[in-house]
C-alpha cells in the first residue's frame, strides 16, 4: 500500500481501516441483498472463536441491484470450471489440486488444436531473421547462427 491513501471509517466505537469508501449514511442504502455466509476463525486459528462472515451487496436502486444479480447468475452459467466438466473437456479433482485440469479426450483435441494454431501463427509472424536482427546473435553470427568472417586487406596479405 506504499504511496496509497488509507482510510479510517468510524461507526460508534468501531473503527474500520480499509481502502473504502464507506457511504456517509445508512439511509443511502435502498436495495440490499445478502449473498452468503461463511464461518471463519479469528486470525485463522481453530483455537480462536468462530466468526461469521456475511457477504452482501447494496445499490442505490432496486434496478441496479437486479441488474447486478442477473450478471452474477450469467457468470455462474458461463463458469469455465462447470462448463469444462459438463462438456467432458477436463476433470478437476482435489486429489491433484483444483488448479490442475486433467484433460479428457475432447479437451485434449481442442487444446492441441489451439496449440498448433498458435505455433503456426508465431512462425508466420516472427521470422528468425527479425528476432535475431535486434540481438547480438544476429550481428555476430548472421542468420541461422552461421558465423560471418570479414577479411581485411592486412589478413589477406599475411597468407
Say what the pLDDT of residue 102 is: 94
pLDDT digits (tens, 9 = 90+) for 133-151: 665 555 555 555 555 554 4
Count how many domains the chain has: 2
Asked if residue 40 is part of any domain, the answer here is yes
Of 1-15, 59-73, 123-137, the range with the highest mean pLDDT is 59-73
Do 65 and 96 share a domain, yes or no? Answer: no
Q: Which of 16-20, 47-51, 95-99 has the lowest mean pLDDT?
A: 16-20
Claim to verify: residue 71 and residue 103 sit in the same structural domain: no
Domain assignment present for residue 7? The answer is no
Q: What is the pLDDT of residue 75?
A: 94
Name the residue range of residue 104's domain. 89-140
Are 100 and 124 in the same domain?
A: yes
Residue, of 21 and 48, whose pLDDT is higher = 48
Q: In the structure, what pLDDT confidence band is assigned to residue 158 with cuts at 50, 70 and 90?
A: very low
Clarify whether residues 72 and 98 are in a common domain. Answer: no
On whether residue 35 sits in a domain, the answer given is yes
Cell of 121: 501463427
Amino acid at each position: 500500500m506504499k504511496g496509497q491513501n488509507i482510510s479510517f471509517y468510524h461507526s460508534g466505537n468501531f473503527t474500520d481501516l480499509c481502502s473504502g469508501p464507506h457511504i456517509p449514511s445508512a439511509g443511502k442504502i435502498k436495495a440490499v441483498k445478502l449473498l452468503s455466509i461463511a464461518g471463519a476463525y479469528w486470525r485463522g486459528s481453530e483455537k480462536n472463536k468462530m466468526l461469521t462472515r456475511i457477504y452482501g451487496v447494496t445499490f442505490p436502486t432496486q434496478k441496479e441491484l437486479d441488474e447486478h444479480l442477473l450478471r452474477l447468475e450469467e457468470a455462474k452459467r458461463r463458469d469455465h470450471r462447470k462448463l469444462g466438466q459438463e462438456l467432458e473437456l477436463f476433470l478437476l479433482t482435489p486429489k491433484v489440486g483444483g488448479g490442475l485440469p486433467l484433460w479428457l479426450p475432447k479437451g485434449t483435441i481442442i487444446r492441441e488444436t489451439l496449440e498448433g494454431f498458435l505455433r503456426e501463427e508465431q512462425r508466420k509472424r516472427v521470422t528468425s531473421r527479425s528476432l535475431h536482427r535486434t540481438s547480438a546473435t544476429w550481428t555476430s553470427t548472421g542468420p541461422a547462427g552461421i558465423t560471418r568472417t570479414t577479411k581485411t586487406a592486412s589478413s589477406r596479405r599475411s597468407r
